[in-house]
Amino acid sequence: MRIESIRPVCNDSALIESRNRSLGIYNFLFSCQLKINPNPPPYKTHLQQTSIFPEKQPPTKMTTQNDIAKHFRTLHSPQDPLILTNIYDASSASVIASLPTTRAIATASFAVAATLGVDDEDLTKAQNLSALKTIVSTVRRINPTLPVTVDLQDGYGNDLPALAATIKDAIALGAVGCNIEDMDNAAGTLRPLDEAVARVRTVVEAAREAGCPDFALNARTDVLFQVGKTLEDALERGRAFLEAGAWTVFVWGGPGGRGVSREEVQVLVRELQGRVNVKMNLREGFLGVEEIRELGVARVSLGPELWKCAMKAVKEQAELLLK
């Protein structure tokens, strides 16, 4: 079974029952919120003895951006993974930031691009950072210390100074973490390992120079769905990224639906000491949040799934009204 999703609470009958209500996009997003146990059971895994993650502490007064970054890092725990319900604009940010169980905000570049009417690969740095600025501003009005991490795709630019500038710009806008992938999106090819590692180091150093040394990099590798590549290649990259300063590693299963199996995630968790991000999918037939929690990952993200839920709701409500 592939690792992806829990199921949304809503269903077609619920949509039909709400036909006489106003367009329920916000209600839909609320109904799709993950059922997170605020007091998860103490899973007994080898990671409890070997985890490198800092011990989670109740949030104290956070006065600087790096204080928020430090807190964000502590939310990554193999015993109680950080669940990120990725957002894409001010309205979705407002909804998710208002939920009492939200511990951090994350963007999804695919969904951000979709709101602008462009494909993910055509989203520019300026567009992405403009969206980030709006999202951070929205979140800060609701909760000034809620961490925000941004999907920066491949970092925009092949040269390291350009990548460093992207990171510093994101930090200046309020981000305390980011995703960077090891694809060269302009060329459509996977970067060589040494080049990808150099980019991880550049992100870490740029964050330090920007005054946010605890900036949390979630380093994504797309190696698993490249021709001739295996889980061993993903592990090699994961280890190298962590050694270079990444906080977690995201092994993506690819756009073609390959996914990452339960067994593969178990290997990743074991070999990378739990410092693993997996993506869930809000469709039937995928693992639920509690099942994923038991695997010992530190972080779970949704990518553009909430945007897809929202667009499905808009379409179905409109179809009901336009019969």
As a whole number of angstroms, the distance between CA 201 and CA 149 comes to 18
pLDDT in tens, 295-322: 999 999 999 999 999 999 999 999 999 9
Q: Give how far Cα 233 sits from Cα of 57, 183, 192, 218, 228, Å.
A: 35, 14, 12, 18, 10
Looking at residue 14, its pLDDT comes to 45
Q: What's the DSSP call for residue 291?
A: H
- Three-class SS state of 83: strand
User: Measured at the alpha carbon of residue 198, what is the angle toward residues 195 and 199, in degrees to the nearest 5?
Assistant: 90
Looking at residue 3, its pLDDT comes to 56
Looking at residue 272, its pLDDT comes to 98
Encoded tokens for 47: 């990671």
| Residue 25: how many other CB atoms lie within 10 Å | 17
Give pLDDT tens digits along the chain (323 positions): 555 433 333 444 444 444 444 344 444 444 444 444 444 444 334 344 344 566 655 556 788 999 999 999 999 999 899 999 999 999 999 999 999 999 999 999 999 999 999 999 999 999 999 999 999 999 999 999 999 999 999 999 899 999 999 999 999 999 999 999 999 999 999 999 999 999 999 999 999 999 999 999 999 999 998 988 999 999 999 999 999 999 999 999 887 667 888 999 999 999 999 999 999 988 777 888 888 989 999 999 999 999 999 999 999 999 999 98
Looking at residue 258, its pLDDT comes to 73
Encoded tokens for 122: 């055509």
Among 189, 128, 119, 184, smallest CA distance to 157 is for: 184
Q: Tell me if 292 sits within 8 A of 81, measured CB to CB.
A: yes
Q: Where are the domains of the chain?
A: 12-36+63-321
In CATH, what number does 12-36+63-321 get? 3.20.20.60
Q: Tell me if 7 sits within 8 A of 305, measured CB to CB.
A: no
As a whole number of angstroms, the distance between CA 241 and CA 158 comes to 18
Element housing 279 (H / E): strand 276-279
Parallel, antiparallel, or unpaired for β 148-151 and 248-251?
A: unpaired
- Three-class SS state of 311: helix
Ordered strands of the 276-279 beta sheet: 82-84, 299-301, 276-279, 248-251, 216-221, 177-181, 148-151, 105-106
As a whole number of angstroms, the distance between CA 243 and CA 221 comes to 15
pLDDT in tens, 28-77: 444 444 444 444 444 334 344 344 566 655 556 788 999 999 999 999 99
Looking at residue 192, its pLDDT comes to 97
- CB contact burial 261-291 (16+ within 10 A = b; e otherwise): eeebbebbbebbbbbbbbbbbbeeebbebee
Q: Tell me if 211 sits within 8 A of 251, measured CB to CB.
A: no
